[in-house]
Amino acid sequence: MATIGDVAQEAGVSRSTASYALSGKRPISEDVRRRVLEAAEALAYTPNAGARALATAQTKVLGLLARFHEDEFAPAMMQYILGVTNTARDLGYDTLLVTEADGVRALRRITDSRMVDGVVLMNVAQDDARLPVLRAAPQPGALVGLPDDCSGLDVFDLDFEEAGRVMVDHLHRLGHRELILVSQPEHVVERGGAYVWRLRDAALERARQLGVTLHAVYGESRQPAAGRLLNESLDAHPAATGLLINNEAAVAALPTVAHARGLRVPEDLSVIGRHSADFAATFSLPYSFVESAPDRLGSMAVRQLVRRVESPAARKEPYVVRFISPELVSLGSTAHPRPRSS
């Protein structure tokens, strides 16, 4: 493989001149510049990443830490990852994807060894053990997901509180007075998945204000349990006319459950999910939903991260906590209520 020395020799200049001609970091005579560029072209010169990283203390690589819990719905993760990798590339960065179970260890490894210029943490828990490690690291960090303590890091998440209110408001406005909200399983909350209760508590609060009865239940995250729990919930609350689902596995199971029960949507039951448009298309879900915008969140996290990486000024700016406003995408699965039980 050609080195900068080969290029310099081929162009008949010094290595520093070759380097400057390629980077444009100082004035170079037109003639020399041309010869260097031609030589680089002829030799198919590409700078050695390790050498450059060593000299510049920049790797042009971002770390992406994703966690996969047995009880979580893996398909939803792909969109977040693509949001990160594609945006990173647009900004000139490659992405080191780390999926190992021990996130703390992994984070130490990639930051201490200077493999990455910055880190995006996905699936952040309220009391995430990776956060202190990331704060102590020399690289900046961005989170997707809202922890209890946001200090020292940029945080991006869907506004789950507002999502809960939007769902309740929408059905209340249509005349519904009794709703069911299916969340993630309880142990997701226990593990620190704050988005579960953020949406739920805001929905409950709003329901109370509006005089709406809201039955909040924990869902399941695997099949067929997710479908079974839907059935139980519908059985338990026969007077409910609206169903809110903050749980990808549950909403994926709903078409089958509705069919089996002979339940028509929205005639017999109004439904609003909380997932992504891509998810809805993939699973062919005919339900209105609050867009969770995984690719946009990943993209936003990367943009902010790269700003901090590249600008010492940006590095000093106050940290941000930015929420994406929930957008209700209507697929016609809500209507005025009609009592379900005869």
Partner DNA sequence: CTGAAAGCGCTTACAG
CB of 44 to DNA, least distance (A): 11
Encoded one letter per residue, x for contact with a second copy by CB under 8 A and - for no contact, window 157-196 reads ----------------------------------------
Q: Which residues contact 263 (CB under 8 A, 6 or more apart)?
A: 234, 257, 269, 340
Per DSSP, the residues of 78-127 read: HHHHHHHHHHHHHTT-EEEEE--S-HHHHHHHHHHTT--SEEEE-S--TT
**What tokens were used for 196?**
């579960």
Contact stretch for a second copy (CB under 8 A) within 10-18, 123-131, 219-227, 330-338: 219-227
Does the footprint of a second copy cover residue 256 (CB under 8 A)? yes
Per CB under 8 A, contacts with a second copy among 282-311 are 282-284
Least distance (Å) between residue 82 CB and a second copy: 6
CB 130 within 8 A of CB 164: no
CB of 19 or CB of 334, closer to DNA: 19
Burial of 86 (0-12, 13-18, 19+ CB in 10 A): middle
Cα-atom radius of gyration of the chain, to the nearest Å? 26
Stretch that binds a second copy, among 19-27, 104-112, 229-237, 314-322 (CB under 8 A): 104-112
Give the burial class of 57: count Cβ atoms within 10 A of its Cβ; 0-12 exposed, 13-18 middle, 19 or more buried.
exposed
Please identify which residue in 32, 37, 77, 331 interacts with a second copy, judged by CB under 8 A. Answer: 77
Q: Could you tell me the maximum CA-CA distance found in the chain, to the nearest angstrom?
A: 91
Q: How far is the CB of 132 from DNA (least distance, A)?
A: 23
Other beta carbons within 10 angstroms of residue 38's beta carbon come to 13
Q: Which residue of 12, 23, 38, 89 would you call a contact of a second copy, by CB under 8 A?
A: 89
Partner interacting with residue 98 (select from DNA, a second copy, none; CB below 5-8 Å by kind): a second copy
Residue 42 touching a second copy (CB under 8 A): no
Q: Is 303 in the site for DNA (CB under 7 A)?
A: no
Q: Is 94 in the site for a second copy (CB under 8 A)?
A: yes
48 binds DNA (CB under 7 A): yes
Residue 284 C-beta: closest distance to a second copy, Å: 3
Q: Which strand (E) or helix (H) includes residue 193?
A: none
